[in-house]
Structure 1
Amino acid sequence: MSSIHTVRPRGFLLASAALTLAAADMPAALAQQSREPLPPIEVSPAQSRKQAKPAGREGQSARRASSRRSATAAAAPGPAVPGASSQVQAATPLNSNAVAESASRLGLTVRQTPATVEVISAETMREQGYRTVSEVAQGAVGVTSGDAPGEPAGFSMRGFTNSQINTLYNGIKIGPQNMTSRIMDTANLEAVEFLKGPASLISGEGAAGGAINFVTKQPHTGPIRNEADFSYDSLNSFRAHYGSGGSTNVQGLDYRFDISRSSLNGFVDDTYTKTLDVSGQLNYRISDSLKVWGAIEYREDRGKAYWGAPLVPVAFSGSHATSGIVSGNYVSNYNKTNLGAVTIDDRTFSTNYNVLDNRNVAQEVWLRGGFELKLAPDLTLKSQAYGYGAERSWFNNEIEAFNSGTNLVDRERFYVAHSQRLVGNITDLIWDTNIAGFDNRLVTTLSSSYLDFVRPGAANFPGDSVSLVDPNRGFYGLLTTQQQTARIDNEALSFEDRLKLTRSFALVGGLRVEHIGLDRNSTDVNGSVKAGFPFTKDWAPVTGRIGYTWEAVPGLTFFSQYATGADVSANNIFLLLPTQPLDLTTSRTYETGVKHLFWDNRAEWSFSAYDIQRKNVYAAAGGQALNIAGRQESKGVELAASVRPIDPLRLWGNIAYIDARYADYNFVGGSFSGNTPPNVPRIVANAGASYRFFTPWPVELGITGRHVGDRYNTDANTVTMKAYTVADVYAFVDIPKTVLGAVDQARLTFRVRNITDKRYAIWGDPFYPDQILLGAPRTYELSAAFKW
């Protein structure tokens, strides 16, 4: 194996990062600790330090207690715990009191941030039955998702998809989404944060469309609380979770421990995903001025993947042709035969075209630790070191392309593996001061990381053809491999500031200066270096944000912002080739909106309008090729609301309109200018209602619905994945403490997913345009949850 010839000096890593170097040979990484909140200029004395929850049963007492206060009473967070989650404020219907660390380092709540931010809490995930992070995303405003096995946990948000959206783990980016993300169970998560629009100020390169942050459950100070959850469904899937946290007998020492196991079976024959997640964290308050913390997490998933159903000519399917799933005329990207009008054949709904010896496996370990030191009453230093490592592998038949010449399904195998190591440090200096009588907070952040990525992959691609119905799945066959490597240095200096010009008006801005260094190498099956390799490239993007928030009347906040982002033009920095343009794209957004909490915290709504433009774009085409698209534009509006008109009844809903299209997208033989990017619907809407009967054993009935508009699976826009509407219903009963004694809270839930058994297309992978991923049919689920 030839190694990369250019190795950059890494002396820029701070001393605390060196603490994790010994762990770099095992899968490991450190999550970002929560930020110190703003000076208590809007803090209510009655504000509680409990986990943010939706305006549901658990939030009623807090809501009633606040009914005599102003709607701004809970507008700012309390003191942060080192390494703890930021989701610690009293509940509001849209969770706007939550502090999202992926949106700002200033400790701002959602309402105080001049951007559209959504935080979905663990309580909401449990109540809505969100089992994976993809299901969480489907409940967010204007977000769609799909678990295409080549790039699982992929998202579409504001017209941008996959690696144009940074995926963060406790605030840390580990690489492009379409290379590093995995199917993840929600049991160990405390919250999922969605930051909409270009967001490179906080998370760096790759955030043209925004950022999604997964926050693990973390310690709290107080009595030990335990929880356990179990579920089983009609596909023979099961989930189990146990968690515990609180204060120990050692003064100042708090802990959190979670372990979860799941086996999620697919609706397609011989498909499943099994996950295991073990996480733990210790927080230790040494003195009033010094706090330290450390955490570790091990996560694995393994399964047999579903790669989609092939597009089939309507003329071939005959009476088995379906309507309402796909439409359009299609020429196969793989075998170039003309399929004419296409459909999904109903005989393929549960057909698995993958080889019998397929596998899809990943193992990850995270290490993280840091400290918080109060240097002076108005000056705080925070630093964290992290290490992350992962081993991933895919061994599958990935292409399923119908051949109209033979009436068979052409298949092709693919193998790839990853060995990834990442170490880094993030250090913040937080300065609270008064400038000419105005309260001000300045956060200066210095960060540095070093990433090493080795990617053995297939050098040959065995293939065959099988029948559409009841195919002979066979085995992978001969495998020969070649290897690619990437080494990435990243250093960044950023500043973020909030200046309160009046009690109700604040300016919020920031600037990030970043250096990215890439070394790439690629060798063939004989270990010989390929043409153009190795090569080195450096970038130095400067990104930022400027905006304001204005609380015109208590609870009613207007905001606007201008923000910029940067990401790699060729879609994936790990796979960038010397023959591709090595420039960064630039993106910017103009956004304005309003956030309103009223009716004694019983009702809340938000509205935003945005205009995003991304320049110098490369777009995915079939066969893992890339086409140039000069510009990508996205405009839209988003509206969300939640209200509890009477104590037993809760109503909520959201809707997003997205107009996303390419411009200056010309190539030899044609143009895609004016076309819509793949997996981007024009309309996305969610709604739900629940009614609680306050009987001795309280019972709640609920229904949720989701509508997703038409989408395309490629830039060509020739095949439409049709709009769909699905609904879930649930009923749960809370068992009184007098029944189970030591158990403080117990809940039994029965849920029906996709109650109408709708067949629909949920996602299309533009690298595999001959096949479409279908959504799951109707399933039944029984679950139980306990807290004590």
Structure 2
Amino acid sequence: MSSIRIVRPRSVLLASAAFTSLAVIDGPAALAQQAREPLPPVEVSPAQTRKPAKPAAREAQGTRRAAARRPAAASAAPKPAVTAVVAQTPLNSNAVAESASRLGLTVRETPATVEVISAETMREQGYRTVSEVAQGAVGVTSGDAPGEPAGFSMRGFTNSQINTLYNGIKIGPQNMTSRIMDTANLEAVEFLKGPASLISGEGAAGGAINFVTKQPHTGAIRNEADFSYDSLNSFRAHYGSGGSTNVQGLDYRFDISRSSLNGFVDDVYTKTLDASGQLNYRVSDSLKVWGAVEYREDRGKVYWGAPLVPVAFSGSHATAGIVSGNYVSNYNKTNLGAVTIDDRTFNTNYNVLDNRNVAQEVWLSGGFELKLAPDLTLKSQAYGYGAERSWFNNEVEAFNSGTNLVDRERFYVAHSQRLAGNITDLIWDTNIAGFDNRMVTTLSSSYLDFVRPGAANFPGDSVSLVNPDRGLYGLLTTKQQTARIDNEALSFEDRLKLTRTFALVGGLRVEHIGLDRNSTDQFGLVNAGFPFTKDWAPVTGRIGYTWEAVPGLTFFSQYATGADVSANNIFLLLPTQPLDLTTSRTYETGVKHLFWDNRAEWSFSAYDILRKNVYAAAGGQALNIAGRQESKGVELAASVRPIEPLRLWGNIAYVDARYADYNFVGGSFSGNTPPNVPRIVANAGASYRFFTPWPVELGIVGRHVGDRYTTDASTVTMNAYTVGDVYAFVDIPKTVFNAVEQARLTFRVRNFTDKRYAIWGDPFYPDQILLGAPRTYEISAAFKW
């Protein structure tokens, strides 16, 4: 869609935040006006309960309280949460994924491909981090490159082309702000495929991924505790508690988790700490308020990959099936010829001994939900976020075919980030010419301050390929960059039911983005071209339909648009770079089918995405213009429980992603596939439960990922791989521990074939490849009471 010019009133943020406070203060007056029709009893929660589209059938074993809720104004559903018991369908399409729509629609009611992975699934499948969660989703791959951990590939797009959200709020581009995050404090992870700017704004060309923390519920207090330990000496521990207090209308949720995840490479680990809490207070049937706080920390020593090495040099130590192709080093320009991963480097750490990777994050948020009239609801929240991040590493490890040594180079950078914002929704349920209609109007504003001291010098050396002398970082000289970004957006989303089974769903977002950038050298002098200011005003939207042809069988189609910054990272834009926005659009159609008395479910989608005015990493820190990026593909997912003890599930995704008009001085990458994008991704699993006095379940999960390229040049291939996990758990009866209602012991073998494979490649560091973890054994215990 077109762009328009908007004035940049930073006062909008303050006014919006003030409105949040005043609305709460003026609540009694509003309540008096609508006392004629009070709301039904509500569960004090800042977001909608995940609820079924229709009464569930007799899938008793899948029922449980809908628990995935998020901050009301961040991505709140139009109607207050109600206490409800939900039957989870085989593909969880009863869930309300509010990162996909503010209309409170279930996955089946949304005219897009949406996937919600619940906390229960994360526990059963042993997903410890958000990267592992993504690897189980349809057509999604992920990697924890240390410079930009928790990076994702989805529908042909990667990293900052996919928005990452925290309870519906974006904090910045993924490749600058994301961190390794444990799943223990999460209730769900939502995946919205294709351009998603309508809901999450700039940066969502490939879609959005939303991390939803656990929220309070109304009812008896429930506690849970989890512990695990594996053969790499990693451990995880978590305690959570939530429910209603002795104060009428006051509910709480508190979670704390601690982990130490050790890598298979020498001297590599990540330690995490996450503490989150929230209070919900139901003032009356028409007003509820809430407040939340979260602290996250991760720190560790990191692995930057194994260097590509000439096959001729490795000789008998050359491996097959991990990488292939011919390569000229991007760093030292020597010709390596045919490359491999040397088996002597599988566990080698080339990072300096004093390396570190540290981050601390704090969230504060609060808001209200107010029923202004029987058909009119106002929701609002204000939030604040702060983060301190630091990298102090040797990041480049490039084999030099002239010296037969590994050339290294240091890099330091730190972030000090502050974000404050407000999101307000007005939800109107009405009737238009006899047709049911729901409309959500959203006003959001935020202000972000970002300070980035970084290295002004890059110490380097060369070490042997085997048993390198890791040494220390050495002399560090710093310089500083800053970015200030203010954002205001007004959006509308509407659902019109033309018949009982056919609905039109559409929306429009008008967004303003203002950027102020400055950069100084190591002496504090302002660099040429700085400071500078730039504004954008993208207009994006979506139009689509859903048609439930027969009960449980829903067809859908949509046309959606998106926009993001052409140079990949709004925090690092240079005054010499073209500062236009890219634009993206998608056509998508598909079907979602729930049948066999809710015991079976499948979905299919086909899409065509085009992104224009693209800039892409050419290796190192250089950017090339890649005029267009085209992506076409299909996705299929299915799950069935043919008999009570047996569950089968699987998914497969095919994507044809390529560049067009990608020409530059000296060559062309037109027709090449973007890095880290496999054509085929498939998952499959099966489990069987033995209903003995101590029920036992056995399961197996397999995953196949096709060939991927490391850079836009498409010269080095990370070869396809297939890995699998097996697990067994036993549920211990309540009579054993008395006070403990549920207890489960699990034994899991990850990568049980001990497959060696390349999991990810960072196109900014193309001389090295990240390897997947070898076979590991894990034992865990979980308790609920």
- CA, structure 1 residues 3+491, in 2 after alignment: closer, same or farther (shift >3 Å)? closer
Aligned-pair distance for 1:34?
24
Aligned-pair distance for 1:79?
4.3
Aligned-pair distance for 1:448?
0.3
- CA, structure 1 residues 29+617, in 2 after alignment: closer, same or farther (shift >3 Å)? farther
Tell me, in whole angstroms, the C-alpha distance in 2 between the residues paired with 1:323 and 1:432. 61
Tell me, in whole angstroms, the C-alpha distance in 1 between the residues paired with 2:323 and 2:67. 50
For 2:584, what is the secondary structure of its paired residue? strand
Aligned-pair distance for 1:10?
1.7
Is this contact kept in 2: 1:24–1:388, CA < 8 A?
no
For 1:525, what is the secondary structure of its paired residue? coil
Tell me, in whole angstroms, the C-alpha distance in 1 between the residues paired with 2:778 and 2:105. 38
Deviations 1:347-406 (A, max 9, x none): 000000000000000000000100000000000000000000000000000000000000
Is this contact kept in 2: 1:689–1:704, CA < 8 A?
yes
For 2:164, what is the secondary structure of its paired residue? strand
- CA, structure 1 residues 332+71, in 2 after alignment: closer, same or farther (shift >3 Å)? closer
Deviations 1:728-782 (A, max 9, x none): 0000000000111000000000000000000000000000000000000000000
Is this contact kept in 1: 2:709–2:715, CA < 8 A?
yes
Aligned-pair distance for 1:242?
0.1
Aligned-pair distance for 1:90?
2.4
Is this contact kept in 2: 1:38–1:106, CA < 8 A?
no
Tell me, in whole angstroms, the C-alpha distance in 1 between the residues paired with 2:481 and 2:438. 45
Aligned-pair distance for 1:624?
1.1
Is this contact kept in 2: 1:380–1:430, CA < 8 A?
yes
Is this contact kept in 1: 2:279–2:290, CA < 8 A?
yes
- CA, structure 1 residues 673+23, in 2 after alignment: closer, same or farther (shift >3 Å)? farther
Report percent identity of matched pairs.
92
- CA, structure 1 residues 97+107, in 2 after alignment: closer, same or farther (shift >3 Å)? same
Aligned-pair distance for 1:61?
6.0
Give the one of 288, 296, 300 matched to 1:291: 288
The answer to which of 311-320 and 44-53 deviates more is: 44-53
- CA, structure 1 residues 48+67, in 2 after alignment: closer, same or farther (shift >3 Å)? closer
Is this contact kept in 2: 1:618–1:628, CA < 8 A?
yes
Which residue is equivalent to 1:688?
Answer: 685
- CA, structure 1 residues 46+735, in 2 after alignment: closer, same or farther (shift >3 Å)? farther
- CA, structure 1 residues 72+486, in 2 after alignment: closer, same or farther (shift >3 Å)? closer
Matched, 1:36 2:33: no
Tell me, in whole angstroms, the C-alpha distance in 2 between the residues paired with 1:123 and 1:3. 43
Deviations 1:47-93 (A, max 9, x none): 99789999999952649999999999999998426xxxx99742100
Which residue is equivalent to 2:264?
Answer: 267
Aligned-pair distance for 1:13?
1.2
Aligned-pair distance for 1:31?
30
Deviations 1:240-294 (A, max 9, x none): 0000000000000000000000000000000000000000001100001110000
Deviations 1:155-197 (A, max 9, x none): 0000000000000000000000000000000000000000000
Is this contact kept in 2: 1:237–1:262, CA < 8 A?
yes
Tell me, in whole angstroms, the C-alpha distance in 2 between the residues paired with 1:32 and 1:456. 54
Is this contact kept in 2: 1:33–1:384, CA < 8 A?
no
- CA, structure 1 residues 59+390, in 2 after alignment: closer, same or farther (shift >3 Å)? farther
Tell me, in whole angstroms, the C-alpha distance in 1 between the residues paired with 2:483 and 2:68. 56
Is this contact kept in 2: 1:87–1:99, CA < 8 A?
no
Q: How many residues are treated as equivalent by the alignment?
A: 784
- CA, structure 1 residues 733+432, in 2 after alignment: closer, same or farther (shift >3 Å)? same
Aligned-pair distance for 1:40?
15
- CA, structure 1 residues 492+568, in 2 after alignment: closer, same or farther (shift >3 Å)? same
Tell me, in whole angstroms, the C-alpha distance in 1 between the residues paired with 2:25 and 2:267. 36
The answer to which of 343-352 and 25-34 deviates more is: 25-34
Is this contact kept in 1: 2:387–2:418, CA < 8 A?
yes
Is this contact kept in 1: 2:34–2:372, CA < 8 A?
no
The answer to which of 765-774 and 60-69 deviates more is: 60-69
Is this contact kept in 2: 1:77–1:99, CA < 8 A?
no
Aligned-pair distance for 1:623?
1.4
Deviations 1:685-730 (A, max 9, x none): 0000000000000000000000000000000000000000000000
For 2:283, what is the secondary structure of its paired residue? strand
Structure 2: which 5+ residue stretches go unaligned?
none
- CA, structure 1 residues 41+25, in 2 after alignment: closer, same or farther (shift >3 Å)? closer
For 1:256, what is the secondary structure of its paired residue? strand
The answer to which of 365-374 and 39-48 deviates more is: 39-48
Aligned-pair distance for 1:591?
0.1
Is this contact kept in 1: 2:701–2:726, CA < 8 A?
yes
Is this contact kept in 2: 1:54–1:95, CA < 8 A?
no
- CA, structure 1 residues 52+88, in 2 after alignment: closer, same or farther (shift >3 Å)? farther
Structure 1: which 5+ residue stretches go unaligned?
none
Is this contact kept in 2: 1:584–1:616, CA < 8 A?
yes
Deviations 1:521-568 (A, max 9, x none): 000000000000000000000000000000000000000000000000
- CA, structure 1 residues 23+657, in 2 after alignment: closer, same or farther (shift >3 Å)? farther
For 2:507, what is the secondary structure of its paired residue? strand
Is this contact kept in 2: 1:37–1:80, CA < 8 A?
no
- CA, structure 1 residues 230+343, in 2 after alignment: closer, same or farther (shift >3 Å)? same
- CA, structure 1 residues 192+561, in 2 after alignment: closer, same or farther (shift >3 Å)? same
Is this contact kept in 1: 2:451–2:481, CA < 8 A?
yes
Tell me, in whole angstroms, the C-alpha distance in 1 between the residues paired with 2:71 and 2:235. 45
Is this contact kept in 1: 2:164–2:210, CA < 8 A?
yes
Tell me, in whole angstroms, the C-alpha distance in 2 between the residues paired with 1:274 and 1:349. 22
Deviations 1:591-622 (A, max 9, x none): 00000000000000000000000000000121
Is this contact kept in 2: 1:32–1:384, CA < 8 A?
no
Aligned-pair distance for 1:342?
0.1
The answer to which of 8-17 and 377-386 deviates more is: 8-17
Tell me, in whole angstroms, the C-alpha distance in 1 between the residues paired with 2:356 and 2:772. 21
Is this contact kept in 1: 2:657–2:674, CA < 8 A?
yes
- CA, structure 1 residues 293+563, in 2 after alignment: closer, same or farther (shift >3 Å)? same
Deviations 1:400-434 (A, max 9, x none): 00000000000000000000000000000000000
For 1:12, what is the secondary structure of its paired residue? helix
Deviations 1:194-213 (A, max 9, x none): 00000000000000000000
- CA, structure 1 residues 338+31, in 2 after alignment: closer, same or farther (shift >3 Å)? farther
Give the one of 179, 183, 188 matched to 1:186: 183
Which residue is equivalent to 2:76?
Answer: 75
Tell me, in whole angstroms, the C-alpha distance in 1 between the residues paired with 2:437 and 2:506. 12
The answer to which of 6-15 and 661-670 deviates more is: 6-15
Is this contact kept in 2: 1:130–1:186, CA < 8 A?
yes
Tell me, in whole angstroms, the C-alpha distance in 1 between the residues paired with 2:70 and 2:420. 47
Which residue is equivalent to 1:710?
Answer: 707
Tell me, in whole angstroms, the C-alpha distance in 2 between the residues paired with 1:706 and 1:300. 30
Is this contact kept in 1: 2:189–2:212, CA < 8 A?
yes
Is this contact kept in 2: 1:97–1:109, CA < 8 A?
yes
Is this contact kept in 2: 1:106–1:497, CA < 8 A?
yes
Is this contact kept in 2: 1:48–1:90, CA < 8 A?
no
Tell me, in whole angstroms, the C-alpha distance in 1 between the residues paired with 2:97 and 2:233. 36
Aligned-pair distance for 1:17?
2.8
Is this contact kept in 2: 1:246–1:254, CA < 8 A?
yes
Is this contact kept in 1: 2:759–2:772, CA < 8 A?
yes
For 1:743, what is the secondary structure of its paired residue? coil
Is this contact kept in 2: 1:223–1:246, CA < 8 A?
yes
- CA, structure 1 residues 439+7, in 2 after alignment: closer, same or farther (shift >3 Å)? closer
For 2:316, what is the secondary structure of its paired residue? helix
- CA, structure 1 residues 448+708, in 2 after alignment: closer, same or farther (shift >3 Å)? same
Is this contact kept in 2: 1:34–1:101, CA < 8 A?
no
Give the one of 104, 114, 119 matched to 1:117: 114
- CA, structure 1 residues 3+686, in 2 after alignment: closer, same or farther (shift >3 Å)? closer
Deviations 1:322-353 (A, max 9, x none): 00000000000000000000000000000000
- CA, structure 1 residues 18+342, in 2 after alignment: closer, same or farther (shift >3 Å)? farther
For 2:217, what is the secondary structure of its paired residue? coil
TM-score (norm 1): 0.93
Aligned-pair distance for 1:29?
29
- CA, structure 1 residues 25+389, in 2 after alignment: closer, same or farther (shift >3 Å)? farther
- CA, structure 1 residues 550+402, in 2 after alignment: closer, same or farther (shift >3 Å)? same
Tell me, in whole angstroms, the C-alpha distance in 2 between the residues paired with 1:457 and 1:31. 57
Is this contact kept in 2: 1:29–1:423, CA < 8 A?
no
Matched, 1:359 2:356: yes
